[in-house]
Amino acid sequence: MGRKILVLTGSPRKNGNTNTVVGWFAEGAKEAGADVEVIDTALLKSRNNGCIACLGCQKSDKYECVVEDDVKPVLARIPDFDVLVFATPTYFFGPSAQLKLVIDRMYSLIKFDPTEGNYVHNLGHLKWALICTGGGDIRPGVSLVDKTFKTVAGFIGSECDSLLVSNASMFSDELKQNSEIREQALAFGRKLAS
Ligand SMILES: Cc1cc2nc3c(=O)[nH]c(=O)nc-3n(C[C@H](O)[C@H](O)[C@H](O)COP(=O)(O)O)c2cc1C
C-alpha cells in the first residue's frame, strides 16, 4: 500500500494559486501510488475561531481536542497519516488564518508536562510538508512561512519539506499556465509519495 498523505489547504479561493498547485501535487503523488486526501480548512465550521487554551486536551489521556466542531475529527485523524502537507497562501508573511486556526488546535496532539518540562506526542512517524504561494518575492514572504513550518516540525522531532511558489498573482490566472511550477509540483508529489 502507498503512503497516506493528508493535505490541509487554507486558501479561501477555491480555484486560486494554492489549490492549483495542490491539484498538481496530488496528481503526482497519486501517480506514484500514494493515497491522497485533501481537506479544505477554509470550509470547516469552527466553534471558537481558534484554540481557546482551555487545556481540556492536556487534562485528557486522549490525543484529541475537546471542542466539538468540524475541526475536531480532522485533528484526531492526523496521526493516521504518513505525510501531513500544509498548503497555504502567504497572508502578511504568515499562513492564512483559516489554516492557522486548525494548526493551533494541533496542541491537542501534544501533551506538555510543565513539572518535567517535556512533552510527548503521537506524531513522531509523520513527515511534514509545506506548499506555500505568495504574490511577492520569495524573501521574506514565502520563505518566512517556510521557516515557521520547519521550526515547528523540528520542535516535534520531524522535518518539513517544502514547495515555495513566489510571484503568484491573485489578479491573473497566469500560474495555471506555468508548466515549470506544474512540473515542480508533480515532482514534489512523487517525492512525498515514496
Ligand atoms: C490578505 C492577504 C495578504 C497577503 N499577504 C502577502 C504577503 O505577505 N506576502 C506575499 O508574498 N503575498 C501576499 N499575498 C498574496 C497571496 O499570498 C498570493 O497571491 C497567493 O498566491 C494567493 O493564493 P490563493 O490564490 O491560493 O488564494 C496576500 C494576499 C492577501 C489576500
Full DSSP string of 36-47: EEEEEGGG---S
Supply the pLDDT for residue 116. Answer: 84
Ligand 1: distance of its center to the CA of 61 in Å?
A: 39
What separation in Å is there between the alpha carbon of 112 and the centre of ligand 1?
34
**Amino acid letter, 108:** S
* pTM of the model as a whole: 0.97
pLDDT at 96: 98
Low-confidence ranges of the chain (pLDDT < 50): none
Q: How many domains does the chain have?
A: 1
Atom of ligand 1 nearest to the CA of 88: 26
Closest residue CA from atom 31 of ligand 1: 91
**Cα–Cα dist 128/49, whole Å:** 24
Instruction: Please name the residues in contact with 68: beta carbons below 8 A apart, sequence gap of 6 or more.
Output: 47
What pLDDT is stored for residue 21 in this prediction? 98
What confidence score (pLDDT) does residue 125 get?
92
pLDDT of residue 137: 84
pLDDT score, position 88: 98
**pLDDT at position 9, please?**
98
CA–CA separation, 160 and 152 (whole Å): 9
The pLDDT value recorded for residue 167 is: 95
| Containing structural domain, residue 130 | 4-193
Residue ranges around ligand 1 (CB below 6 Å): 11, 13, 16-19, 89-93, 133-136, 141, 168-170
What backbone torsions phi and psi does residue 155 show, to the nearest 5 degrees? -60, -35
* CATH assignment at residue 138: 3.40.50.360
Cα of 154 from ligand 1 centre, angstroms = 26
The pLDDT tens digits of the residues spanning 121-156 come to 989 899 999 999 999 887 888 999 999 999 999 999
